[in-house]
Amino acid sequence: MRLAVCLSLVPDPATIDVDPLTGEIDADRTLYIMDPADAAALELALRLRGEGDTVIALTVGPAAAEPVLREALAAGADGALRLWDESRSATKPAVTSLLLATALRNEGLPDLVFCGWRSLARGSGKIPALLGEYLDWPVVTDIARLEIQAARVHFHRRLARGDRSEGEVTMPAVLAIAADGVRLRYASLPQLMQACRTAIPMRDLPDLGLSPLDLSFPASTVHAVTPPRPRPRTIFIPDSSLSPHERIGQILSAGAAPKSNTVLEGSPDEVADAIIAFLQARGFLEQPA
Amino acid sequence: MAAPVVVVAETIYGGLTPASLECVEEARDVAESLATAVHVILPGHQTAALADELAAHGADRVTVIEHQALAQFSADGWLAAVAPVLKETRAVFTLAPDSGYGRSWLPRLSARWRIPLASACIRVKVTDEGYPEVFRVSHDGKLHERQIWARGTAVMVMLWPGVRGVGPALPGRPASVTVVEPELDPATFRDRTLRTVPPDPHDVDLTEAERIVSGGLGVGGPEGMALLQQLADELEAALGGTRVVADRGWLAADRFIGTTGKIVAPKLYLALGVSGAGQHVAGITGSETVIAVNTDRTAPLLKLADLGVVGDLHAVVPVLIRKLRTLRQAAQAAPAVRPALLDPVIRTPVAAAAGRPRDASAREALP
């Protein structure tokens, strides 16, 4: 089986310092890391690799993005490939996924492509689906766990508030991994030294057989970048049947029930009853019939 | 009528997801500034009854795509079913929740139709000059971007769940409901969902847990944590704790709560033997209801809690567990009448007995 992993080098959020006036990131202070979601995808691919299987790491980026591939090689990837269009300073998700899809076709299509579910950079989360579209493959997003069963992948998908769904997808497929607890394995020193000496092949547009016209997509303009300003949530409208005095009280408390802050003392039996009554009153336990 | 603002809604356990209702309400605001209508597309199986809820949150038209093959999510199925309906609406804005489901099919349509798609959006609007404009988060929430397109550009937007919040419903708002039954062959779907499973409190991430039982230094040791685990099982809650507890090895290292650990926002936070140091409290400020038990009547957490109990947890918790067990057995002896579920959902008996509020509302919406 041939596995491909798409990696990206992203700014470490802990080192991002935003100028409150211009909204620009202080580039001097930013450190770059392999995207944690991509690292989890790489680790899962390496764990799945059996006898005779290969794992190839790909990235789209300038020469400065090479460390992410060396890290993958040191962790045990069998090959690495960098894709870039020298005329660009940055790529949009559509361009990134088109470059990846073309390179995968040229190099021989793998059986599975692994991606992170969303990057820590601009974080569109669109690349897996776009890659699936350009390869005409099925796509599964937000995979927390997976297992290969014959020509199918059985997966657990992460939904909101801790819900999970189980499903399956035929191979070949694009898999977007959202396995939070999975960390990339440590590389041994000899592997690290070896990876540092390896020359990383690069493909640009002519190598891939693409014309710059293939990469022109409808333009959007990023007009402003600002430090985050939380948006007010729609939570509450005062009850118009109440008196003005009560409505003002409701508005001032933003509709939140005031904290009752009852403090109880008593025998264990009494306080246990009080806790259960409280849980029942707040709807956490069913009321006794 | 001008081109509508379209929302593609999602369901879970037979009810609408809160993220879908947020999209409908956001679409309502955009539609009002454009003087146009909100058109909601609802793919699924036996979901037509949810149209009233969509109308109550601002939908003017609802197109229900009804097919047995849409009972569970499939990206291929959604593409086959939704694409023709969505294309016909000639939407000026298309909104969908930024969920794993949405991200697996909507970007493909945006590439196919060459319509720009902005994800992780927290706000959608039309500028005074008539340009479509979105605000989105990037760099792990460190930055907000304002993105803008040429006037009249059709734009697809994936709205980040939980940012807008769901406003009150206006029951009785009318909406015209159309049910379409497309020809679909589930055998051609390359991916499918087999079932949806509620979270297991034992391994759910604390940031996603709805109920948390948490222990502090007052639990006294691994035996105390085992006692708390029993209580957590009775309440269907996840087990967490403070940093000191994790540092002593009484709790898994990824399950401590506070500024250096997990920042949690459960509906119920039950703190036992936790004094409430600032570093810990900073991690629980999003909790809706807090109950604290502590021997020290001056513990800061007792003042922050909705219900504070001055007492020894080693005396209180066993009694509490015993009483909860008695209650559960009484409830099981007289089984509640529940409507049959439409989704083939696995449900543990305890989950059904405790009746999570969200599921209860989902069931009410069904015929």
**How much is the pLDDT for B336?**
53
Asked whether the beta carbons of A163 and B215 are under 8 A apart, the reply is no
Q: Are residues B128 and B232 in the same domain?
A: no
Assign B292 a pLDDT band (cuts: 50, 70, 90).
Answer: very high
Residue A51 has pLDDT above 70, yes or no: yes
Please give the residue that has the higher pLDDT: either A236 or A203: A203
Give the mean pLDDT of chain A. Answer: 87
Question: Which single residue is written with the structure tokens 């005779």?
Answer: A52
Between A and B, how many residue pairs show a Cβ–Cβ distance under 8 A?
Answer: 284
Mean pLDDT confidence for A128-156: 93
For the cut 90, the answer to whether the pLDDT of residue A241 exceeds it is: no
Q: For residue B19, what is the domain's CATH number?
A: 3.40.50.620
Which of A133, A159, A166 is the closest to B108 by Cβ? A133
A142: nearest CB among B100, B318, B324: B100
Among A13, A125, A180, beta carbon nearest to B205:
A180
ipTM of predicted complex = 0.82
Name the pLDDT band for B364 (thresholds 50, 70, 90): very low
With CB atoms and an 8 Å threshold, state whether B190 touches A173: yes
Does B276 lie in the same domain as B211?
yes
In a domain? residue B256: yes
Q: Is A268 helix (H, G, I), strand (E, B) or coil?
A: helix
Shortest Cα distance, chain A CAs vs residue B367, angstroms: 23
| Within-domain flag for B201 | no
What residues of chain A lie within 8 A of the CB of B197, using their CB?
Answer: 163-166
Q: What's the mean per-residue pLDDT of chain B?
A: 86
Mean pLDDT, residues A125-131 taken together = 94
Domain containing B61 equals 5-188
For CATH 3.40.50.620, list the domain ranges present in chain A.
Answer: 2-215
Residue B352 is predicted with a pLDDT of: 40
What whole-number distance in Å separates Cα of residue B45 and Cα of residue B70?
6
B326 with B346, same domain: the answer is no
pLDDT at B367 over 70: no
Is there a single domain that holds both residue B250 and residue B111? no
Would the pLDDT of A236 be above 90?
no
pLDDT of residue A254: 55
The pLDDT tens digits for A17-36 are 888 777 777 888 889 999 99
The tens digit of pLDDT for each residue in A153-209 reads: 999 999 887 788 999 999 899 999 998 778 899 999 999 999 999 999 999 999 999
Higher pLDDT, B243 or B358: B243
Residue A61 pairs in a beta bridge with: none
Q: How far apart are CA B271 and CA A160, in angstroms?
A: 25
Distance, in angstroms, between B175 CA and closest chain A CA? 23
What is the reported pLDDT for B358?
Answer: 43
Two tokens at B239?
């087990």
Nearest to B296 by CA among A263, A261, A272, A267: A263
**Residue A200 DSSP symbol:** P
β-sheet with A173-177: strand ranges across: A202-203, A79-83, A54-60, A2-7, A112-116, A173-177, A139-149, A152-158, A164-170, B191-197
Q: Quick one: B17 and B98 in the same domain?
A: yes
What's the pLDDT tens digit per position in B314-356? 999 999 999 999 888 887 776 555 444 444 444 444 444 444 4
Domain contains B229: yes
Helix (H) or strand (E) segment spanning residue B75: helix B75-89
Residues in A closer than 8 angstroms to B147, CB to CB, are 220-223
Q: Give me the number of domains chain B comprises.
A: 3
Same domain? For B230 and B296 the reply is yes
Contacts of A126 in chain B (CB under 8 A): 103, 107, 110, 117, 119
The span from the CA of A69 to the CA of A92, in Å, is 20
Q: Which CATH number fits the domain A2-215, given the four candidates 3.40.50.620, 3.60.21.10, 3.40.640.10, 3.30.420.40?
A: 3.40.50.620
B296 lies in the same domain as B157: no
Q: Are residues B131 and B228 in the same domain?
A: no
* Mean of pLDDT values over A126-131: 95
Candidates B223, B228, B248, B230; CA nearest to B240 is: B228
pLDDT at A150 over 70: yes
Cβ contact, residue pair B103, A176, below 8 Å: yes
Q: Indicate if B55 and B30 belong to the same structural domain.
A: yes
In a shared domain, residues B42 and B128: yes
* Facing B143 at nearest CB: one of A18, A140, A269: A18
Contact criterion met (CB < 8 Å) for B289 and A168: no
Domain boundary among B124, B155, B188: B188
- pLDDT tens for B178-226 read 999 999 999 999 999 999 988 878 878 888 888 999 999 999 889 999 9
**Percent of chain B surpassing pLDDT 90:** 52
Is residue B193 domain-resident? no
When mean pLDDT is compared across A251-260, B46-55, B77-86, B173-182, the lowest value belongs to A251-260
Q: How confident is the model at residue A219 (pLDDT cuts 50, 70, 90)?
A: low
Which residue of chain A has the CA closest to B106?
A129
- CB-side exposure of A240: number of CA atoms within 13 Å? 0
Pairing assessment for the beta strands B15-16 and B11-12 based on DSSP bridges: antiparallel
Q: What is the mean pLDDT of residues A240-252?
A: 78
What is the rounded average pLDDT of the residues B286-304? Answer: 88
pLDDT of residue A258: 53
Predicted confidence (pLDDT) per residue in B70-102, tens digit: 999 999 999 999 999 999 999 999 999 999 999
Residue A253 predicted with pLDDT over 80: no
Domain annotation covers residue B194: no
User: pLDDT at position B102, please?
Assistant: 94
